[in-house]
Each structure stands twice: as structure tokens, then as C-alpha cells.
Amino acid sequence: MSPGHPSTSSRATRVLGGLSLAGLALLLGYALVWSPADQVQKDSVRIMYVHVPTAILAFGACAITTLAAAMWLRKRSEGWWVLGGAAAEVGLVFTGICLITGSIWGRPTWGTYWDWDPRITSTTLLFILLVGYLALRRIDNESGDAAQRGSRGAIVGLLLFPNVVVVHYSVDWWRSLHQKATITRLDPTIEGTMLFTLMLGIAVFSLIFAWLLVHRFRTGWLEERAEHAGLEQALVDRRAEAATGTAAAGGTSR
Amino acid sequence: MFRDAALIAGKDLRIELRSQVTTQQVAPFSILVLILFAVALDPDRGFLARASAGLFWVAVLFSALLAIQRAFTIESADGGRDALRSSGLDPAGIFLGKAAAIALQLVVLEAVLAVGVVVMYGTEVTGVPLLLATAGAATAGLAASGTLYGVLAAGLRVRETLLPIMLLPVLAPVLIAATKSFEAALGGVAADGWPWCGLLVVFALLYLTFGTLAFGTLLEES
């Protein structure tokens, strides 16, 4: 992150990235080749090795955003501010992947891309909550540097996780009255290679999540620096302009 | 705190009484929404009556958005918000006052909508205690969360578009719980509705507490 090194990677993130890619290759092997097909869901169960990890990490991202908002409100240090946005952005991507994979899985399993299942409904609402939070942050970002930055983003960030939890449970409760176990869910008693593959999926996607988060955090941090640098440069330019202006004025009066 | 709340609520309601925006614009809008539902859903009376609980609350939500936005535009002119900030009033009191004023307007809107639903959708009213309790709890929750998110969006260039995208997903639990509770009351099995009413009370308390604590910070920066 030195000025001469414009990349956002470091030795640690290169190792993290390498591990993520290697893990992804291993996961592909297990998910597509070495793990057996499910008795009920057949091959479509393999989507779960992407779907479940992204769902878990999407919720994890919200927790990070809320934590970062709380810390920002206490310490007012830029790092927490940038982290909150980075986690929400990466979380939005994971929520999107979770929705898309869930929908693809739903087609062969339920016979439809969309079902008013509690999880689909609450995940969609989570997606929109994240979009709203990021829209607000963008406005906060436009409003100047960290010292003047609004607490709006932080307050909404602070409410993000509680809202996700309330929405999740109320939607769960809402739908559970309509349908009770009428659909085949992922077999709760999975074991052996399938369980291992799922755990591997969670581990690998956690690595990818961390990798993306670090890079997004660093680009966010650089954006902040660039803004500061731009402001300082503008001040310097303006002063120089004023100085030459005075000099010129002095010259003519003499 | 409560004296300040009463002051603010009184001010907001006086402005509404004089400007008549709620009665002349928001209330007709809510009735219009009911008509639009009927047009969209084939005004076969049986269907509208069955769906009336959900339609009623969606109409309340849309009207609430207008009322909330209105509650903050009245202070946008002539540096009203600066005056409010420098007035020395307790921010918690300002929050409660604005929420109370919004709540009172929502009660009026809900009464208008209730008449509309009964007359136009042919809904039979049963389980009145549950209906009233649900409406009370939901209104408190709507007003509290609406005031909190309303001040967040107040003063921004994009407030009209930002408020719905932020507030409506947050209000999803209110819509769900109020609808289920109303369905239970209108369907005759009131006992099924009370737990939902409890959820509404919890939601309202949560936002009332959070708003009371956080409003000062937000008002500083709106």
C-alpha cells in the first residue's frame, strides 16, 4: 500500500487468494465428482455446496456491518466506516449468489424457480435492506470527509442485523402457518462425503469472502486517501493561485 | 422530555390542521389505493373481502410513507430544522413528539381506510378488540420506525426515493404481523391473532427505544 505500489494486494492476501483458489478447485472436485448424488434430490443437491455457504456468509456480512457501525459510532475512525461498507457490498454479492443458486435449485426440486418459501422471502428482503444501506452510504460518502460524515449510514448499519433477524423470524413464522414440511429440504441427517463437502464449501467460501473483504476494504481505504489528497491538493492549488494573484497585483501597483 | 414531545406534537398537528395536507391529499390517496386494488384484482366482492386485511395494511403503509415524508418537509423550509436543533428541546422529546403526531395522523387514515374497506370491499367486521389492539400496536411501530428513518432521509436531495427503499423492507414484519392478526380477527379465530399483536408491540417498543436514544445524533446531521 505504499505510494509506489498501487495494488491492493500484499503477501498475506496473495496467500489468502491462492488458498481460496486451491480450495475452490478441491471443492469443485468434491462437489461435482467425488460426492454422491442425493437419493431424493439427485444431482441438484450439489448446488447446496455453493448455496448454503453463501447464505451463511451473507448473514455473517450483515453482522460485520452492524459491528463496524457500532464501532464507528464509538471511535469515529475511518477504518470501521470503510469496513462496514466493504462487508455490506461483499454481503450483497453473496446474497445475490445465494438467491440465484437457490432459484436454480428450486426448479428441479420444487418444479418452480420461485416459491414463497420463508427463506427465499427473507433473503430477498435482506437483499433489499443491503441495497438501501449501500444507497444511503453512497450519499454519505458524497457529503465530504470523515469528520463531517453523517451518522445516518452508521445508524442504519447498526439496525441492519437486528432488522435482518426480525424480518427472518417474522417471515419464518408467517410461512410456517401455511406449509409444514411439504417440500423436501436438504436432508438434515447428511453424513459422510456429503457432509464433508458441505463443510469444505463453508470453509472455502469463508476464505473467498475474507479475500474479497480485504481487497474491498483496501480499495475503500484508498478511495478515502484519494479524496483527502484531492482536497489537500485543491487547497494547495488555491493558495498558490492566491499567492501569484497577490504578487501580480503587487507588481502592477508598483 | 414529555413536555417537549407534547410541544412538538402540538406544533406538527397544528400545521396539519391548518394546511389540511393529510385530509385533502393523503387520505384521498389512501382511498385511491383501495380503488386501484379493486381494479387490479377484479372487483369480485368475495375476493376483495377475503384479501381485505392485507390490502388494508398495504394501503396504510403507502399512506404512512407520505405522512412520514410530509412530517419532515414541514421543517425543511425557512431553516426549520436548524431552529429545531437550536431550540434546546430534548431530542428524545422531539422524536416522541413527531412520532406521536404521525401516529395520530395514521389513526385518522386507518379510520378512513377501515370505512373504505367495509363499504367498498364488503368486509364484515368481527373481533373488534383484536382489530383495535393490532391497529394501535402497528401504528406505534410504524410511527416510531418511520420517524427514525424519516429523519435519516430528511434534508437529502434523494429523500423521496431513498425513504421507501430503506423503510419498506424494515416494515415487512409489521405488514406480516398486522395482516395475520387482522385475518385472525376477521376470520373469527381471534386467539390466533394475539401472538402477532405481541410481535407488533415488541417491534414498536424496539423502535421507540432506539429512536429515543439515537434521534439526537441523527437530528444533528439532518
Which chain B residues have a beta carbon less than 8 Å from that of A139?
Answer: 156, 158, 162
| Cα–Cα distance measured from residue A109 to residue A185, given in angstroms and rounded to the nearest whole number | 9
Mean pLDDT for the stretch of residues A243-248: 68
| Cα–Cα distance measured from residue A9 to residue A29, given in angstroms and rounded to the nearest whole number | 28
Instruction: Please say whether the beta carbons of A68 and A81 come within 8 A.
Output: yes
Which chain A residues have a beta carbon less than 8 Å from that of B170?
Answer: 129, 159, 163, 167
Q: Using CB atoms, pick whichever of A128, A136, A167 lies closest to residue B173.
A: A167
Which residues 116-155 of A have a C-beta within 8 angstroms of B?
125, 128-129, 131-133, 135-136, 139, 150-152, 155
- For residue B85, give Cα distances in angstroms to A153, B13, B80, B88, B207: 20, 19, 9, 7, 22
Residues found in chain A = 254
The string of pLDDT tens digits covering residues B22-75 is: 888 899 999 999 999 988 888 776 788 888 899 999 999 999 999 999 888 888
Winning range, highest mean pLDDT, from A33-42, A117-126, B152-161: A117-126
- How much is the mean pLDDT over chain B? 88
Residue B220 half-sphere exposure toward CB, CA atoms < 13 A: 12
Which residues 36-95 of A have a C-beta within 8 angstroms of B?
73
The string of pLDDT tens digits covering residues A183-238 is: 445 555 666 888 888 899 999 999 999 999 999 999 988 888 887 788 788 888 88
ipTM of the complex: 0.84
Q: Using CB atoms, pick whichever of B165, B169, B217 lies closest to residue A135.
A: B165
* Residue A70: burial class (beta carbons within 10 Å; 0-12, 13-18, 19+): middle
Q: Cβ A170–B172 below 8 Å, yes or no?
A: yes
Instruction: Please say whether the beta carbons of B107 and B134 come within 8 A.
Output: no
Q: Cβ A139–B156 below 8 Å, yes or no?
A: yes
The string of pLDDT tens digits covering residues A162-197 is: 888 888 888 888 876 554 443 445 555 666 888 888
pLDDT in the model for residue B85: 80
CA angle B202, B203, B205 (to 5 degrees): 65
Q: Using CB atoms, pick whichever of B169, B217, B221 lies closest to residue A167.
A: B169
Residue with cell 393529510: B22
Mean pLDDT for the stretch of residues B139-143: 95
